[in-house]
Structure 1
């Protein structure tokens, strides 16, 4: 059995998103959940799939991985989710490997297969065109749809009084940026941090650094509007790297030492290398952008002799069902005002919203897919 839905399809490399009538399997398998999507954030990783910088992808497909919605059906073995639950969607993991069992599901041995293969765990597709031809998924989620099939572990259940239009981006961009601080780098109170790129991920890292009590939170960008928002969110210093040498400025701000921690969200080779130079001795850099660019350095002179570190942190090393709820708690306490960064679009504005994300004019575009949704109902 299947039902007709609407999905934003990428037909081939660099093709625009196109809304199409698709069919989704209407009978969830044992560990699956059918979710009605209310809204979905647009993340740079969606664009990275569309333009190929995220690596190989099996087009045609539907991306989107910051979905929020309402559960319609659950599979026979699902125990943590029920029909009618309000949920946020994040990444999938197997839950059984040694990394998952020790609290690091983003390091799951099967992470790549589960999230990037474009099919369900059993190899079948969730979506087809009316002629039966396959449409591949993404993050085992594909939230650029009116309904989608996900695995139980993709889901975090939230209170029904929370506005589903706002919270989808907590499933990727915001949990990635904040988790890189909370879990990956874990700065002590009074340490210093530079955040390069103040989009959604960088802004989330900024808010987390403020919560952690960093004494210097230095934000670097080329957009004055984003830097103004960074100040509002808690940046102690901002640098427009179009106007001055940001590494020199970082050293000036830190009395010549450099920062204890740096996060790069640009994925640009030269800037990632500059971030290493901006570190103090013993400092840590987390380059977390989805990029095809490379980072080159001299291991002895630039890393070993100064005891610097380059840390890989995927999805903020967060357990979604814990990390997402933590961010909601901080948000409700006024400490993580992520919704200041959002701008709503309708589903048919998907290409406009994606362009706004890419050109930096909007920090976090969110598509409200169900225009009839009323918060709290």
Structure 2
């Protein structure tokens, strides 16, 4: 969704990074111009090659994982912005002096508290050419199969797992 929103609102180059190739393919289908498996490359080096050594204007971390947040910070240009959406499960250590303060990077979080203020923007994204609902929904499970849904999440299946209270899986 972040990729679709970025493209919808005019981003010229959207670079998606992940550790799972299947998710990278989904990112490409949602509008990413470049996909990088950050487990198979030096992400900051690759980003700087793609941006003539400058770095990206903005990075969005949806993982909450310290290595991803740190890598995102290294990829942002001086005076750029790092937006954190993912929730860390433990404290995150960052080099604030060299990574943030000296480079004047703005770091902010998004938690959904402004959902009603931004609904019209999201509607625009959903109606745009990049948003693909079938790519956002991963798989569907009966509620009693919640253990299978959790297994899918933990194995890295992209998208949201949908649980239905009845025996039958409903079609979207």
TM-score class, shorter-chain normalisation, is: 0.7 to 0.9
Partner of 2:102: 305
Superposed CA deviations along residues 157-201 of structure 1, whole A, max 9, x for unmatched, are xxxxxxxxxxxxxxxxxxxxxxxxxxxxxxxxxxxxxxxxxxxxx
Q: Does 1:314 align with 2:101?
A: no
Q: CA deviation at 1:333?
A: 5.0
Unaligned runs of 5+ in 2: none
Q: TM-score, normalised by structure 2?
A: 0.86
Superposition map of 1:150-189 within 5 A: none
Q: Does 1:216 align with 2:17?
A: no
Partner of 2:49: 252
> Equivalent of 2:84, from 279, 287, 290?
287
Cα pair distance change 1:347/1:333, threshold 3 Å: same
Partner of 2:64: 267
Q: TM-score, normalised by structure 1?
A: 0.42
Question: Conserved in 2, the CA contact under 8 Å of 1:344 and 1:365?
Answer: yes
SS in structure 2 opposite 1:296? coil
Partner of 1:339: 134
> Equivalent of 1:327, from 94, 114, 122?
122
User: What CA distance in whole angstroms lies between the structure 1 residues aligned with 2:134 and 2:122?
Assistant: 12
SS in structure 1 opposite 2:141? strand
Q: CA deviation at 1:219?
A: 0.5
Q: CA deviation at 1:262?
A: 0.7
Superposition map of 1:340-359 within 5 A: 340-342=135-137, 343-359=139-155
Q: CA deviation at 1:350?
A: 0.8
Superposed CA deviations along residues 110-157 of structure 1, whole A, max 9, x for unmatched, are xxxxxxxxxxxxxxxxxxxxxxxxxxxxxxxxxxxxxxxxxxxxxxxx
Superposition map of 1:32-181 within 5 A: none
Cα pair distance change 1:369/1:311, threshold 3 Å: same
How many pairs does the alignment contain? 171
Q: CA deviation at 1:214?
A: 0.6
Superposed CA deviations along residues 295-334 of structure 1, whole A, max 9, x for unmatched, are 32343322222111211221173227x61x6534543454
Q: Does 1:237 align with 2:51?
A: no
Superposed CA RMSD: 2.5
Rg larger in structure: 1
Cα pair distance change 1:245/1:345, threshold 3 Å: same
